[in-house]
Structure 1
Amino acid sequence: MSKIIEGKCEFILPDDVFFNPVQEFNRDLTVLIINSFIHFLKNSIIHKEKLKIESGLSILDAFSATGLRAVRYAKELPNIGCVIANDLSTLATQVIAKNIDHNGLSQDIIKISNEEANLLMLKNHSTHKTQIDVIDIDPYGSAAPFLDATMRAISNGGLVCVTCTDMGVLCGATGHNCYAKYDSIALHTKYAHEMSLRIVLHSLESHANKHNKYIVPLVSVSVDFYVRLFVRVYESAAQVHLSPSKRSLVYHCNGCHSYYMQPLALLDNNNKFKHSSGPSVSNVCQICSSSLILGGPVWNGLLHDKSFVDDLLKSLPDLSYLGTQERILGILTLISEELPDVPLYYKMDKMTSSLQMSVPKSTVIKSAILNAGYRVSISHCDPGSIKTDAPLNVLWGIFTCWALLNKIDPEKLKSDIAKRIISQNFKFKADFKTHPLAIPKSMKFNMCRFPNLPPNWGPQTKSVIKKIKIT
């Protein structure tokens, strides 16, 4: 048995109860986001939202284990009426009770539940009077089996926090399994980590629509070995009718790894449903004439609410006790700089390998995109990414210009894909002069990685967990 200190709390950890120290970042980020959500409700002009704060928010920690999250929510967050700490394990509920008492809290504030999560939500919280304001779904593996009950149990305007750790499924290792769980076919591509976020958002929206609800993403993070998403859920039949316009199919090129988005529906000038015309592509890639494969549907809307992310960055200094504060600052800064309306991204190394050339500095390519009048950023999912609204012919024209400037001889290219790209003869002259916006603020953060994790899990900095052995 051991003790840990995390946030403002101290926890007793028996050896036979599950605890993941790497998830401190996940828990710290959730405390920050719920805290900002409460602050938003306090300042809301909507009377019903202010009433929620006056009566105290209800929070469900559906997979509580040691009770770590539930205790932190009760002790670190303001305006909390009730936290339900639920776990199917009887042993876990006993540990939760000890940790509630150990932190000087009452079981009137933290109510312990020993129930299967779906059954708890459907049996006790599926009517308007009993619905929960914040639901945290953080299981071991996929959250998919719990999303429908979650959408029934969440209150109108409530906050849903979801973790999925089945990244092999979401990143395309088994496309059929992804479809079975999330109603979407994943692709094993370089942009798989952002596509994972968009697959889960698509699934959340689908489950919400079944109950006349829709989602609004606040923050969507791909980090470590999981995705973590925070969405508000609202009731509105009119918005549900527009839901198909938020989904797209993805056509992915097997050769140069370009991608094409095909929305399932569009909105007309009056913001009404309109059938999409398609397909948006021919049967081969317009850049290299290779074959295309089909994935999705995926969420094609915003991953984050920029104003909410800005509020998080402003309030973060007030939560100086968070053990992963510096890491949160770095990742939220990256997120704040992401292009909000550009789905997916390209990888520098994959594009240059298609042209059989070395990888230039990212500022070189970003400057050329900016100098051409388009926007560019990286994705928080991958520091080697390019997220841009530049058309494909402009983007490939820039890379082709760089290749030719660096004495790539088209006659000596061995790759058929490289030859086909060069033969396009893009009529585009790139300006590689350094642009001031090509170096983002987030570059000042040291995004080192966990040494025991694969190198493609996204920006990392190491968490510090204080462990004290009980004598």
Structure 2
Amino acid sequence: MQTQDYQELTEGLAKITFLGSSKAFYNPVQEFNRDLTVTVLRQFVSDRLEEAKNLKELSNGNGEEEPASKRKRVELKVFKKDEPIRILDALSASGLRALRFAKEVPNVGYICANDFSDNAVASINRNVKVNGVENIVTSNFGDAVEVMMAHRGIDKRFHAVDLDPYGSPSLFLDSAVQAVSDEGLLMITCTDMASLCGNTPEACYNKYNAIPLKHKCCHEGALRILLRCIDSHANRYGRYIEPLLSVSIDFYIRVFVKIHTGQIHAKDSVTKLGHVLHCTGCQSLSTQPIVKKTVDGNSRKFTPSVFKPDIFEGNNGKCRHCGSSVHITGPMYLAPMHNEEFVKKLIQRLNSTPNEQKLGTHRRLLGTLSVISEELHDVPFYYELPEFFHVLKSPVLRVVDFRSAVLNAGYRCSISHANAKSIKTDAPLDFIWDIVRTHAKQCNITSLPENLPGHVILSKENSHTINFTYNSKAISKSQQEGMLRFQDNKGKNWGPKEKAKGSVNSIYAGFQAEEYMKKEREGLKE
């Protein structure tokens, strides 16, 4: 095929060439994913350089007062924070992601664009030349697990590793947490939402060692299952994660976590985990930590938590709100999924971007991050507001009235970026059901058939006074400013693309990679 037969496509500052239709490998819906990743990497690099600057000032300020050995350690830290970063695009395909990193992220010294396909590597090589980034991007043909394991040595690790597989990343997690440098960035995408959101609990357990939550907040549950799985792999090597940003987007989830090293803090990871109890009738949720930590001076003691779920009625194992059965899910990561300071920096970066330099999905980036910044980070899980009222067969209360009632009682509330109809609050469920019950009775719903979960809830008396008076804080800043908070993506390009023809199935990962490559060279087909 002649060079002139190639077509060209531009995204950001990168160009990729292809034969025939771009539909074969390019999904425009994923532009938001790539734009978000570029934004996070830019801030990650900026933070590293800022730390290096502060360390330099500290070193210069101390002068000769500090011992030479300490000054040397500070200088070494400065060098490590100041040096150009190394990035691994472990599953690179056309190389678009690696090309954008090379052209749009500052202070990048080396990018390894890896793929387990001869066609993909040929495409990467061609696109590297088209973009003129031969000095930064290097292609590599190999199994991602083997590549990451080859870089597990401290002096070989990458500052950032990007995993964007077709489906589940579970096969790559153990090697990924070893290939990231200390305080490095691990970026992971999951598109196997069916298993993570409760449709196939056995598949989720096989991949992530957790039972998923089949609930309206299942997308947050998916994020917390993934975070727990990454942290679990890291803990085996005396490492632990710091979630910077965790997002549910379109048909997938994506997390950005820092990897830290330290046995003491790695042991604390177990205190961030817990099971989630889910009522099958009224959809009420309750969390149950696994382990508690007691600190007495220098003594740190970990003991199993006492089982005290606030969802059970007596010893009958039924929901105390409606009398239905309760499912046990998890374990999941119950600590905050985002770093509030980091999210604010991302928003500031976007707001200060000149118009000519704005990314293609700038408006959506700003809206999504603004909603995330407004979320209650210390409150795990959310409810979809209409589901409360559907239990009592009641018309749905206006969101502003519901939020006003919560705020007037002295509790906090927000929405979640994962669901436009969500409500996240620290108000107890007894109070929430009092709101729903009050509104239902105002709508003349006084009784329900005994076989419905709502019958028990409706028959109870309120234990709180409900005040629906308008509260100005009931409307969030992002809503007042008319930001693009949620986007309807269902349309022509909706959903993940089909798996590329000739791509390597996950069954060939790891130990079977060498055998597969041998067959490829011999021209055999499975």
Category of TM-score, reference length = shorter chain = over 0.9
**2:31 match: secondary structure:** helix
Q: Which residue of 2 aligns with 1:36?
A: 43
AA aligned opposite 1:452 = G
Question: 1:316: Cα distance to partner?
Answer: 1.1
Identify which of 281, 284, 307 aligns with 1:258: 284
Q: Which residue of 2 aligns with 1:467?
A: none
Question: 1:42: Cα distance to partner?
Answer: 1.1
What are the residue-to-residue correspondences of 1:45-444 with 2, within 5 Å? Answer: 45=54, 47=74, 50-106=78-134, 108-123=135-150, 125-269=151-295, 273-281=302-310, 282=312, 283-317=317-351, 318=353, 320-410=357-447, 416-443=452-479, 444=482
AA aligned opposite 1:451 = K
Unaligned 5+ segments in structure 1 are: 458-471
Question: 1:95: Cα distance to partner?
Answer: 1.1
Taking the aligned partners of 1:116 and 1:130, their CA distance within structure 2 comes to 17
AA aligned opposite 1:38 = V
Question: 1:453: Cα distance to partner?
Answer: 8.6
**1:256 match: secondary structure:** coil
AA aligned opposite 2:142 = E
Identify which of 12, 36, 39 aligns with 1:7: 12
Taking the aligned partners of 1:334 and 1:425, their CA distance within structure 2 comes to 35
Is 2:251–2:495's contact at 8 Å kept on the other side of the alignment? no
Question: 1:127: Cα distance to partner?
Answer: 0.6
Q: Which residue of 2 aligns with 1:452?
A: 491
Taking the aligned partners of 2:427 and 2:198, their CA distance within structure 1 comes to 26
Taking the aligned partners of 1:385 and 1:51, their CA distance within structure 2 comes to 45
Unaligned 5+ segments in structure 2 are: 1-5, 56-73, 497-526
Is 1:449–1:455's contact at 8 Å kept on the other side of the alignment? no
Taking the aligned partners of 1:154 and 1:375, their CA distance within structure 2 comes to 37
Tell me how large the CA RMSD over aligned residues is: 2.0
Question: 1:362: Cα distance to partner?
Answer: 0.7
Question: 1:164: Cα distance to partner?
Answer: 0.4
Is 2:29–2:493's contact at 8 Å kept on the other side of the alignment? no
Is 1:132–1:154's contact at 8 Å kept on the other side of the alignment? yes
Is 1:287–1:424's contact at 8 Å kept on the other side of the alignment? no
Taking the aligned partners of 2:158 and 2:133, their CA distance within structure 1 comes to 21
Question: 1:424: Cα distance to partner?
Answer: 2.5
Number of equivalences: 454
Is 2:27–2:493's contact at 8 Å kept on the other side of the alignment? no
TM-score by length of 1: 0.92
Q: Which has the higher contact order (CA 8 A, sep 6+)?
A: 1
- Closer, same or farther in 2 for the Cα pair 1:423/1:163, shift >3 Å? same
TM-score by length of 2: 0.83
Moved over 4 A (4+): 45-49, 269-272, 412-415, 453-457
Question: 1:416: Cα distance to partner?
Answer: 2.8
